[in-house]
Structure 1
């Protein structure tokens, strides 16, 4: 059974969003007629949005089907013991033409109790940023519930939020309970737990085409905000060529940065699948079953049973992810 597994690509699931734009088409070559493409779900096992294989012998099968078939050969033995037939990560590219809502995500305990879901720890890698664009992460001062609620009620929430100007390569680790938003003009690669649970606390008073405001979740959010968090969300990392440079390592995922301009012989020593997101250039990934090309804006899943492989490129920047 192992030898059928190969580097797997999936058909992107594109999401129309009130704040979305066209950069996922123009920069990342996604194909869609949607007017405001906000997100491309690259690998997803979210209920109702399960990825479908786009290449090779498994083409047309869903991620859920192949996980049920290949189990630990697909995701690793320990991962299979923990997650069973639920794929643990949701992988996205996001284009914010307008500011996203101010939001946060619940932890595992709250998400399980309220939504029968995982929590939503995530990270962002900035792929493109217009001049002067921002990410909103955390508060710009020590914060408590009383002060926060006062600003929320008076519509002065932005006065207490931390705005960071960003450039390509900037990386942020967004833990559960941290207030955040992607600002207008930014394209990010996002790696997160498999969860679609978001608590929206402020949406800039905007309305949709029919004049309706989007739902806010302030009653749920107040219990989920962690007011004690340190300002440790900016990720510093090495950028040494032709090796994996660790960026983020947490209980839910480990992500490294690869700047490849030769051929790397790689061995998967992790009891896990590997995911590669191409954030610049293109690369070839070669295994015993053949070679797959991955271009900017594409994502590939390397099953856990594939232990030895090569990455070849003249100009690729990749994010490498495992659990």
Structure 2
């Protein structure tokens, strides 16, 4: 007989990056001595980086094994029909001490053909930003492949890119095919399709400790660009207290914003798992036989079979995610 599913917390998978810093450790208490900690993968089934449970009866078991055992009970029956044993989302916190490379991601069709992977549509929620910190999303003018390639060749790419100064709470939706980069000084939450495929087109001419530049992918990136994308990447959303405020709804995920200042009873009306990312404060998640606290910079997964639970907090901000 299978044990009953309950809200799951996972061990963060920590990734040092050439552009990483120390905010994930200093602000979220991620266990690392590195001064180049760039990413904390909170929920992942990317091969080689599969999340391990840290609470309850399933402690030390991994998400992939639980998915294969519990199937629709874990992710929802319709989701299991659609995705099978492939968990559809990758959940991260990212600290950019330096600018990330200018990059884009292939869509589902191209990623499947080339990499046997999902594509990568994603969103960002800015949790903290240093003064004058910015993001690059899209172009600042009408674009086509010929003009883009001319600027790439002449190393004037930044002249045609859209730079946005950002502050905490700013949210961006980045479809596959849209050029983007996280700027220095930005700490954010990222929700994305399960994909680790990135096409890097410019890396600021920087080199690593051995004097080597990172690989660029311009020969294959050009096919992934969607030059006709509109200026619709900034997300406006309501911040009404103690309700799920819709931020983004796309074929790959739905994300809501919850600003809690009192206890909230929740009913999972979706045939889906729910993920809560705590982006400020802390909250107690109470299900039948389970109580877990998540603080700023932590994440919890509510299996689809858990239909009723409570979010108890006097002060917390949450991203609520489902498929």
TM-score w.r.t. length of structure 2: 0.99
CA distance in 2, matches of 1:57, 1:148: 53
List aligned pairs for 1:171-210, cutoff 5 A: 171-210=171-210
Residues 1:237 and 2:237 are matched in the alignment: yes
User: How far is 1:3 from its partner?
Assistant: 6.4
Whether the 8 Å contact between 1:2 and 1:73 is mirrored in structure 2 is: no
Please name the residue that 2:247 is paired with. 247
Please name the residue that 1:95 is paired with. 95
Give per-residue Cα distances to partners, 1:47-74, cap 9 Å, x unaligned.
1100000111000001101111111110
* Alpha carbons of structure 1 residues 199 and 224: separation in structure 2 relative to 1, 3 Å: same
Give per-residue Cα distances to partners, 1:179-229, cap 9 Å, x unaligned.
000000000100000000000000000000000000000011101000000
Please name the residue that 2:297 is paired with. 297
User: How far is 1:35 from its partner?
Assistant: 2.9
SS of the counterpart of 1:27? helix
Aligned residues: 323
Whether the 8 Å contact between 1:96 and 1:185 is mirrored in structure 2 is: yes
CA distance in 2, matches of 1:51, 1:286: 22
CA distance in 2, matches of 1:10, 1:186: 24
User: How far is 1:34 from its partner?
Assistant: 2.4
Question: What is the alpha-carbon root mean square deviation over aligned residues?
Answer: 0.8
CA distance in 2, matches of 1:272, 1:92: 20
Please name the residue that 2:63 is paired with. 63
SS of the counterpart of 1:118? coil
SS of the counterpart of 2:222? helix
Name structure 2 gaps, 5 residues minimum.
Answer: none
Residues 1:50 and 2:53 are matched in the alignment: no
| Runs of 4+ residues over 6 Å off in structure 1 | none
Name structure 1 gaps, 5 residues minimum.
Answer: none
Please name the residue that 2:315 is paired with. 315
User: How far is 1:276 from its partner?
Assistant: 0.1
SS of the counterpart of 2:223? helix
Whether the 8 Å contact between 1:144 and 1:227 is mirrored in structure 2 is: yes
Of 3-12 and 100-109, more deviation after overlay is shown by: 3-12
